[in-house]
Amino acid sequence: MTTPLIPTQARVGVFAIALGAYLPQFPSLVPEFESQYAHFKTMLPASVELVDGGIVTTKELAQAAGDKFRAADVDLVVLQLLTYATSYNMLPAVRDLDVPVVLVNVQKLRAPDYAHTDTAKWLGELYACGAVGEMVADLERAGKRHAVITGVVEGGDPAVEAELADWCKAAQVRRRFRDLNLAQIGRPYPGMMDLYIDETNLYHRMWLYTKQFDWEKMWAIADHITDEAAIRAKAQDILDTFDIEGGGTIEKVWDMARYVVAFEEWVKQEHIGFIASHYDGFAKGAAGVLDSMLIPAFSMLIKQSVACAVEGDIKVAMAMSILKTIAGAGQLSEMYSIDFDKDICIIGHSGSGDADISAQKPTMKIVPVFHGKTGGGYLTQFYPHLGPVTYLAITQDKDGRFKFVAAEGVNEDGPIFTFGDTNMRTRFACGAREFCNRWSEAGPTHHMAAAPGRHIDTILKVAKIFNVPVDIVTR
């Protein structure tokens, strides 16, 4: 996956707790716990910024850790339970935070040497599990979201490391939503009321700020771009990304490359990670030039982790960004058709797409008219990987609360439509007919995002961070 145009780094608060009363009784525990905590921090991926709250053995130390976490605006808190500890070692550190607390219950040794274990060894190397229930009980009473990971240090524990990495991926979603903006260009497709959204509610509930832009600004966005070397390099990037019907040349995609260079500059200036756009005017003059090449231009941005959604759909731009962040790809899709003979759902969409979902080089072709939309120009078709696939949609209830709708299936080989739109043949465990029923009953809006692989477990972690419910349609 290409490096994001605007990199972001999740901030993870990390600390460890132990009962202070043990330390003067068994002085050997101090270096033992310091060593265990130092090792534990190395288990967290280097992709996140650690905010270190230290080893907490008193209420005062817990408060100091909480001050650090609040000041850093952490996206997640990870707590290592070194031995038994009372909940006052934990609660002051997380009391004023609105992020999940992941309790990591990793025991140093795989099994006791029963005949040669004294109290200090038991407390220091064999007693990680004693306080987990107490911590969860008090987190529940404090209204805090939580998760538990249990494992062992001796010999390594890939399952623990995978869970920690998964939580850090989920935390990265929160950081992108908090740090980056959503550009709304134009307005949603007229009449697609499932796409309409209250941007103030969006900011309050999902931390995502919306910037509105008029198309007049977009038509002129590349007027000042004159660096021929930059344009030529971007034109070559486009040719390297797409096979163009009728053959591609630098000259053929020159204007498109100029717009991509301009959009990349604009994304950085406005700190944009999401774009939802729709144009319903007259595709003539400058408007017609940009409109004809906007699909591949935005596809080049998606490649660089800017989620670009057609038809002005803000919610699917969010879903695309989530999958791009946790899975490396985020393709806009919708239900296309059903092959009842093969019990297969045909799922796809016209418009911009993600090269990282494509198993072969995407194609670009010119059509005289965009179906249901103004003008004509370039369509892009991507060829999603065969094998497991995850779908994610974001919707709202009558009170404006957000909900995730997720499903896993398998993309299978076979004939697909060839009129220039991305589409895939997905088989679901529940069958095509039942999937359509269950997915639609969840009220997901008519768009969703897709990514290769199985990612519902990570989506559940993202949902816990955002404090939204998830409907799992099928796995």
pLDDT digits (tens, 9 = 90+) for 188-199: 999 999 999 999
Confidence class for position 260, pLDDT limits 50, 70, 90? very high
CA–CA distance, 295 with 367 (Å, rounded to integer): 12
Give yes or no for residue 173 having a pLDDT over 70: yes
Confidence class for position 258, pLDDT limits 50, 70, 90? very high
- Beta bridge partners, 56, equal 17
Which residue is listed with tokens 């660089």? 304
Q: What is the pLDDT of residue 281?
A: 87
Angle at 267 between CA 263 and CA 271, to 5 degrees: 170
By residue count, the chain amounts to 475
Confidence class for position 1, pLDDT limits 50, 70, 90? low
CA–CA distance, 365 with 370 (Å, rounded to integer): 12
Q: Tell me the pLDDT tens digit for each residue of 376-404.
A: 788 999 999 999 999 999 999 999 999 99
Give yes or no for residue 374 having a pLDDT over 80: no
pLDDT more than 90, % of the chain: 90
Confidence class for position 96, pLDDT limits 50, 70, 90? very high
Q: Tell me the pLDDT tens digit for each residue of 223-253.
A: 999 999 999 999 999 999 999 988 989 999 9
Pairing of strands 101-107, 76-81: parallel
CA 419 to chain centre: 30
CA–CA distance, 241 with 195 (Å, rounded to integer): 30
pTM of the model: 0.96
Across 399-418, average pLDDT? 95
Nearest CA-CA partner of 371 in 353, 348, 352, 350: 350
Q: What is the pLDDT of residue 174?
A: 98
Task: Kindly tell me the sign of the dihedral angle through the C-alpha atoms of 346, 385, 405, 301.
Answer: negative
Nearest CA-CA partner of 5 in 251, 228, 243, 303: 303
CA–CA distance, 286 with 143 (Å, rounded to integer): 54
128 torsion bin: left (phi>0), alpha (psi -120 to 50), beta (else) = alpha
Across 130-147, average pLDDT? 95
Long-range (24+ apart) CB contacts under 8 A made by 150-158 are 150/105, 150/106, 151/104, 151/105, 151/106, 151/107, 152/106, 152/107, 152/108, 152/109, 152/110, 153/36, 153/39, 153/106, 153/107, 153/108, 153/109, 154/108, 154/109, 154/110, 155/110, 157/106
CB 365 within 8 A of CB 295: no
CB 380 within 8 A of CB 293: no
Structure token digits, residue 236: 């070559």
Give yes or no for residue 278 having a pLDDT over 80: yes
Confidence class for position 420, pLDDT limits 50, 70, 90? confident
CA–CA distance, 412 with 428 (Å, rounded to integer): 11
Which residue is listed with tokens 């006052």? 88
CA–CA distance, 119 with 98 (Å, rounded to integer): 37
